[in-house]
């Protein structure tokens, strides 16, 4: 989860590192710190966000051409100055930052304590750092060799970056399970958890693989595996512009990303869906189309918002393709010892492509003969590399911690896959196939219409911002949208919210209903609509406050609800991409009205690269 940054070259390292940390704060913001050679190894770190560290460093002599930086999401040890990274080794000669969890740190710590080591923090990182220094000192080997030896003993996930005062022209890095990107410049190198710290300096990057150690000098990059064998770096060209990671005049990244959805959905469809010709072109899916059509089941594996996208896709695939679909939390799936049969299709859904539980789940399923398809946003990410095939969502960087545009892009990709497979399999007739292509093609323009209600939704947020609880209800395709709406409100406003199938409300949650409880119905016109109307009446009979997301012109729902938000009419298969937009905006404006940092909600991080 944590964000890491590094630089070595002719430029001043500090401005590059501090800017890179700000761009990666979505990965964690409990504490932050930097280490530079000036001329000796010097560490500055502080609890809180990057700006707080930056303020404390005003007037400091920070001149250096090499440095590393870290922004933390706390795992081992509470957020504090002493638990912030970088950590210094016992001798003060090594500094290290770390993203991940060392699972056997307690055993290593006991060994070091028995040798007389003391520790200044509660972190597993300081344990690993001193373990590396112990090996280096006792064997008189190089830092890179000590790292290789140490990591053969380590269980867990990590990206580590180290500075060595005795070798002030080198950064040593290693990776397993957490992402590491190295930017290639002219006589300089940039390091990051993603490519955002280096966008204005280079478009050439290397994605470091698991179990690789990188030895980085200003004019040289050496990759080795843990067996000390040289590896050939594969250079990738970035397809990302700096403007994509800037706010562009919006107050928050979250609002910008909500309003980007007409474009991001269009970008997702562009070059793939041709409604006039009646074609869907997805090379990463076509290669496995026969296996998907003949699969006994599809298992969708995801976490959080991506899991909700999988739930919507379950309805779509079963309806259009007539294939049994199961949707699994990756964190449960990886440990449950699930029954995987050869030929099962696993679809891994992840915005970052680095979600630790999802990654391990598909690696395990692949060993058992499953076909792995990835639906991810980040090109070159770990899940994309492990997958046999799949499709990128092309949503662009998502900086706001609460996912918005990634959700609708995932739905667009998954809907295209279902349409393609259903039509080729013959379970979807041509007339409906062509109608659904038109429906999907029209979604970007319809999202624009929904976004025009921004001010109305803002007023509703002001009206309901002081609620302590909320229910979100929907049926069919809109049930997962209700779950997503509840999640967004929890993430952004810290209001307790729950999502349920509307009919399940009678089996317990209706006990919560009184005149103070807002109940949000996702009630667009579909095959469940009359049933949802009945559920709405049950809430009104108990004096609950009904907020309804409805189809334009639905007078019956309007007469029952206290407040309504209208969305354009759409087929129920694509309707979730429209009905979720008001819930994103409602959560955003409630959070803003309550004075919270909606881009960086407390305790959260964007990319969950640890268990």
The mean pLDDT value for 391-415 works out to 93
If you average pLDDT over residues 522-548, what whole number do you get?
85
Helix (H) or strand (E) holding 586: helix 576-593
Where do the H-state alpha helices sit in 236-378?
Answer: 253-259, 261-269, 283-286, 289-294, 304-321, 330-333, 356-367
pLDDT digits (tens, 9 = 90+) for 446-501: 999 999 999 999 999 999 999 999 999 999 999 999 999 999 999 999 999 999 98
In sequence order, what are the beta bridge partners of 563?
547
Go through the domains of the chain in sequence order and give each one's CATH number.
Answer: 3-244 (3.60.20.10), 247-441 (3.40.50.10490), 452-611 (3.40.50.10490)
Q: Tell me what pLDDT residue 29 has.
A: 79
For residue 270, is pLDDT > 60? yes
pLDDT over 70 (residue 401): yes
Residue-level pLDDT at 379: 80
Average pLDDT of the chain is 91
pLDDT confidence bin for 74, thresholds 50/70/90: confident
CA 83 to chain centroid, in Å, comes to: 25
Q: What is the mean pLDDT of residues 86-97?
A: 95
Q: Sorting pLDDT into bands at 50, 70 and 90, what band is 77?
A: confident
Position 539 pLDDT exceeds 90 = no
2-6, 173-177, 336-340, 497-501: lowest mean pLDDT where?
336-340
Beta-carbon contacts of 370 under 8 Å, excluding residues fewer than 6 positions away, are: 299, 340, 341, 342, 343, 344, 345, 346, 362
The reported pLDDT for the residue numbered 557 is: 84
Q: pLDDT band at residue 25, thresholds of 50, 70 and 90?
A: confident
Largest CA distance in the chain: 80
**Mean predicted confidence (pLDDT) in 151-176:** 93
Question: Does the pLDDT value for residue 330 go beyond 90?
Answer: no
Residue 531 main-chain phi, psi, to 5 deg: -65, -40
- Position 364 scores a pLDDT of 83
For the annotated catalytic residues, the residue numbers are: 2, 606
The answer on pLDDT for 43 being more than 90 is: yes
- Alpha carbon separation from 292 to 93, 325, 376, 550 (Å, rounded): 55, 12, 18, 35
CA dist 570 and 593 (Å) reads 31
Q: For the full predicted model, state whether its pTM sits above 0.95.
A: no
Which H or E element spans position 236? strand 235-237
Q: What confidence category does residue 1 fall into, taking pLDDT thresholds of 50, 70 and 90? A: low
């Amino acid at each position: 989860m944590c964000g890491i940054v590094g630089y070595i070259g002719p430029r001043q390292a500090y401005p590059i590192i501090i800017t890179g940390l700000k761009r990666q704060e979505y990965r964690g913001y409990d504490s932050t710190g930097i280490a530079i050679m000036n001329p000796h190894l010097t560490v500055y770190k502080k609890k809180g966000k990057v700006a707080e560290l930056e303020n404390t460093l005003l007037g400091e002599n920070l001149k250096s051409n090499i440095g590393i930086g870290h922004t933390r999401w706390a795992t081992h040890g509470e957020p504090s100055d002493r638990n912030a990274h970088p950590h210094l080794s016992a001798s003060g000669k090594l500094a290290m930052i770390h993203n991940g969890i060392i699972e056997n740190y307690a055993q290593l710590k006991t060994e070091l304590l028995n040798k007389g080591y003391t520790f200044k923090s509660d972190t597993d990182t300081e344990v690993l750092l001193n373990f590396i220094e112990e090996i280096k000192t006792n064997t008189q080997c190089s830092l890179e060799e000590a790292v290789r030896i140490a990591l053969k003993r380590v269980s867990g996930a990590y990206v580590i970056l180290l500075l060595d005062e005795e070798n002030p022209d080198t950064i040593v890095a290693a990776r397993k399970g957490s992402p590491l990107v190295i930017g290639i410049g002219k006589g300089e190198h940039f390091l990051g958890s993603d490519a955002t710290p280096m966008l204005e300096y280079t478009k050439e990057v290397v994605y470091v693989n698991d179990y690789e150690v990188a030895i980085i000098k200003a004019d040289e990059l050496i990759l080795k595996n843990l067996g000390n064998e040289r590896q050939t770096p594969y250079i990738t060209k970035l397809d990302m512009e700096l403007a994509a990671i800037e706010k562009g005049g919006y107050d928050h990244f979250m609002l910008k990303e909500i309003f980007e959805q007409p474009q991001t959905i269009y970008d997702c469809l562009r070059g793939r869906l041709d409604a006039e010709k009646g074609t869907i072109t997805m090379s990463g899916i076509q290669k496995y189309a026969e296996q998907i059509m003949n699969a006994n089941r599809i298992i969708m594996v995801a976490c959080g918002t991506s899991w909700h996208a999988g739930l919507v896709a379950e309805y779509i695939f079963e309806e259009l393709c007539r294939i049994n679909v199961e949707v699994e939390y990756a964190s449960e799936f990886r440990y449950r010892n699930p029954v995987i049969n050869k030929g099962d299709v696993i679809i891994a859904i992840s915005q970052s492509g680095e979600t630790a539980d999802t990654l391990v789940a598909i690696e395990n399923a692949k060993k058992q003969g499953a076909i792995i398809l990835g639906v991810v946003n980040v090109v070159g990410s770990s899940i994309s590399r492990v997958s046999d095939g799949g499709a990128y969502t092309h949503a662009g960087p998502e900086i706001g911690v609460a996912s918005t545009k990634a959700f609708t892009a995932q739905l667009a990709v998954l809907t295209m896959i279902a349409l393609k497979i259903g039509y080729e399999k013959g379970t979807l007739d041509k007339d409906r196939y062509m109608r659904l292509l038109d429906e999907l093609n029209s979604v970007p323009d319809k999202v624009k219409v929904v976004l025009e209600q921004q001010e109305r939704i803002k007023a509703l947020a002001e009206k309901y911002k002081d609620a302590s609880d909320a229910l979100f209800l929907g049926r069919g395709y809109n049930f997962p949208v209700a779950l997503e709406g509840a999640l967004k409100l929890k993430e952004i406003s810290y209001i307790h919210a729950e999502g349920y199938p509307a009919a399940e409300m009678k089996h317990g949650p209706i006990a919560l209903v009184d005149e103070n409880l807002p109940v949000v119905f996702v009630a667009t016109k579909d095959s469940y609509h009359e049933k949802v109307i009945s559920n709405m009446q049950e809430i009104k009979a108990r004096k609950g406050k009904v907020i309804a997301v409805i189809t334009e012109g639905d007078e019956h729902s309007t007469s029952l609800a206290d407040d309504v938000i209208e969305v354009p009419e759409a087929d129920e298969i694509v309707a979730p991409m429209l009905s979720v937009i008001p819930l994103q905006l409602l959560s955003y404006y409630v959070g803003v009205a309550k004075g919270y940092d909606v881009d960086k909600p407390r305790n959260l991080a964007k990319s969950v690269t640890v268990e």
